[in-house]
């Protein structure tokens, strides 16, 4: 089965809701999806060569300015899921966008989409600052061409 990813070459995390992820409606709690997106974002960043230690060393971070999640279908405990993420757009200076797509592995159906607007900040002050060269070198080559 081929998966209908929204964009080419996603960074993928394999996930499965545990019993503790299930809420009173017997499906995965929406907050769990948010945590998974954070986990995927960090894993992708590390795969691109930028870890939390690098952020601290550079006194810079890509911080979430805005997040948006579309919960399309519920998922259940033990269900095999694939969370794809991409760096989608950037101005190469302050702003970057990250997108997410959660797909049910059994049939390839999309169950959630997410989007983050990121801004580069100086960690010590919390103020917006230009992306350092290391961010540009690591992140910009991974940005997919905006199609929608």
CATH number at residue 41: 3.10.129.10
Determine the structural domain holding residue 29 and report its residue range: 11-142
**Predicted confidence (pLDDT) at residue 2 exceeds the cutoff of 80:** no
Domain for residue 123, yes or no? Answer: yes
47-92 pLDDT, tens digit per residue, is 999 999 999 999 999 999 999 999 999 999 999 999 999 999 999 9
Domain for residue 6, yes or no? Answer: no
User: Domain total for the chain?
Assistant: 1
CA distances from 17 to 74, 78, 95, 143 (A): 11, 5, 32, 29
Q: Mean pLDDT throughout 105-117? A: 97
Domain for residue 4, yes or no? Answer: no
- Can you tell me the distance from the alpha carbon of 138 to that of 50, in angstroms, rounded to the nearest whole number? 7
Domain for residue 77, yes or no? Answer: yes
Domain for residue 96, yes or no? Answer: yes
**Predicted confidence (pLDDT) at residue 101 exceeds the cutoff of 70:** yes
Domain for residue 82, yes or no? Answer: yes
Structure tokens at 84: 């794809």
Work out the mean pLDDT of the chain and round it to a whole number.
95
Domain for residue 1, yes or no? Answer: no
pLDDT at position 40 = 98
């Amino acid at each position: 089965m081929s998966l209908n990813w929204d964009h080419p070459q996603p960074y993928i995390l394999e996930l499965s809701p545990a019993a503790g992820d299930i809420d009173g409606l017997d499906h995965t709690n929406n907050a769990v999806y948010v945590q998974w997106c954070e986990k995927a974002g960090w894993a992708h960043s590390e795969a691109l060569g930028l870890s939390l230690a690098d952020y601290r060393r550079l006194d810079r971070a890509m911080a979430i300015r805005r997040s948006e999640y579309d919960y399309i279908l519920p998922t259940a405990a033990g269900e095999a899921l694939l969370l794809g993420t991409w760096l989608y757009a950037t101005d190469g200076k302050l702003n970057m966008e990250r997108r997410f797509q959660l797909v049910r592995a059994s049939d390839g159906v999309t169950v959630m989409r997410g989007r983050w607007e990121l801004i580069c900040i100086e960690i010590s002050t919390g103020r917006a600052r230009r992306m350092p060269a290391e961010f540009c070198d690591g992140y910009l080559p991974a940005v997919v061409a905006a199609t929608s």
